[in-house]
Amino acid sequence: MLKLDLQLPREQFDLTVKTALELDAVWGIMGASGCGKTSLLRTIAGLEKHAKGRIQFKDEVWMDSEQGVFLPPEQRGIGYIFQEARLFPHLSVLGNLRFSIKRACSERQGLQFDEVVEQLGIGHLLNRGIEKLSGGEKQRIAIARTLLNAPQLLLMDEPLASLDWDSKAAILPCLRSIHRDFGIPVIMVSHSREEVARLADQVLLLHRGAVTAKDQSQVLLNNAMAVDDQHEPLLSMLEAEVVGHDKNYGLTVLNAQGNELQVHEAGLEPGATVRMIVPAHEVSIVLDDFSDTSVLNRLPVIIESIQARDDWHQLVTLCTGEQKLMVMVTRKSVDRLQLKVGMKVFAHFKACGLEVI
Ligand SMILES: Nc1ncnc2c1ncn2[C@@H]1O[C@H](COP(=O)(O)OP(=O)(O)OP(=O)(O)O)[C@@H](O)[C@H]1O
């Protein structure tokens, strides 16, 4: 458990966080720009000397201002990954990695070099100079270097923000595997709903320095009001169980609370539970369950709410059992179909509009 009871004065407000984070999850910290996400990470890392209160990681007290305890960052055993990879430009990739191994705390067992290199797919880069790497490659080296330093907690501040889409796609599975394969707890700051959906199990939401919500990422992300940021595309997360594979058509068949869904073959074992990202603009609302359509996924749902998104669009939240699905529709469609809260309708979405994570 990471127990936080801290205060840090900021220009417009005090960061005031009192919560406990279980360490068997990847945590996403979300919130509008300037709400204190980076300040919170920096305080946990021991980079904010003016912070007050108490921070306890497992049975180690990292900060207790009443008792005059303030462990410096290097004694907290934290790995910190920044938006931009911070590497030594005069050293090769291997040189950068070796530097970390040398510095790894002797009391903690470092991760195996070969394992880290393989997980991050950087074996072919070892003899290259840093200057000749792409942004995504640099970030993977930075992550490998941090892991080799044997952190007991990994903090990531917008680790994908400076990367293009191809680099993000290459690095996302590596980030996801850090917690799963190396068992290191991860706290990640991100303003991107999609990144949080892909990476985080639990989310802490901040507003002007205070925690306003703490929940499973699926629950929080499916609540548009909680994480509303008009600039970010809305998405829902659905959970389903793998039933089998339709080899003839390269599809995986899923069961979402009694309803069948089909997605592009995801190489998963029957019985496995999967999460899917469903972008709100990929879903259509249909009044009758007509099967005369190319759309493979048709879920019976109930309209839970209809909210104006802007002058021309409405956000419709649909319920399927315990799960929620958000749909962006035009105001014209809401009027034409006479959509109302409580109505039973069908949500249609294509197999290729879904992504299993
Ligand atoms: N050293 C500082 N002293 C006082 N206030 C600061 C300091 N650094 C940042 N702030 C202010 O504290 C607030 C929180 O900043 P912080 O960088 O933690 O927010 P954030 O949520 O990470 O923002 P963003 O998403 O834009 O990176 C901002 O209003 C910022 O201007």
Q: Average pLDDT, stretch 241-267?
A: 88
Atom of ligand 1 nearest to the CA of 39: 18
Confirm or reject: Cβ of 291 under 6 Å from ligand 1.
no
For residue 212, report the distance from its CA to the centre of ligand 1, in Å. 17
Residue 230 has pLDDT above 70, yes or no: no
Same domain for 74 and 137, yes or no, is yes
Total domain count for the chain? 2
- Band the pLDDT of 216: cuts 50, 70, 90: confident
Domain end among 197, 221, 245 = 221
Same domain for 156 and 50, yes or no, is yes
CATH number, residue 180: 3.40.50.300
CB-based contacts of 59: which residues, under 8 Å, 6+ apart? none
Domain end among 221, 254, 283 = 221
Residue 157 has pLDDT above 90, yes or no: yes
Same domain for 191 and 264, yes or no, is no
Same domain for 89 and 59, yes or no, is yes
Atom of ligand 1 nearest to the CA of 12: 29
**Residue 23 belongs to domain spanning:** 2-221
Domain end among 187, 221, 255 = 221
pLDDT digits (tens, 9 = 90+) for 50-64: 999 999 999 999 999
Question: Torsion over CA of 216, 281, 232 and 170, rounded to 10 degrees?
Answer: 80
Confirm or reject: Cβ of 193 under 6 Å from ligand 1.
no
Contact present, 199 and 237 (Cβ < 8 Å): no
For residue 38, report the distance from its CA to the centre of ligand 1, in Å. 7
Ordered alpha helix ranges (H), 77-232: 93-103, 113-119, 135-148, 165-182, 193-199, 217-221
Atom of ligand 1 nearest to the CA of 209: 14
For residue 281, report the distance from its CA to the centre of ligand 1, in Å. 32
CB-CB neighbours of 232 under 10 Å: 14
In angstroms, what CA-CA distances link 213 with 17, 202, 326? Answer: 12, 10, 19
Residue nearest to atom 25 of ligand 1 (CA): 33
The two most distant CA atoms of the chain are separated, in Å, by: 71
Residue 103 has pLDDT above 70, yes or no: no
In whole angstroms, what is the distance from residue 282 CA to residue 221 CA?
16
Closest to 175 (Cα-Cα) out of 136, 135, 218: 136
pLDDT at 352: 80
Confirm or reject: Cβ of 38 under 6 Å from ligand 1.
yes
ipTM of the complex: 0.96
Closest to 58 (Cα-Cα) out of 92, 33, 21: 21
Residue nearest to atom 28 of ligand 1 (CA): 34
CATH number, residue 247: 2.40.50.100
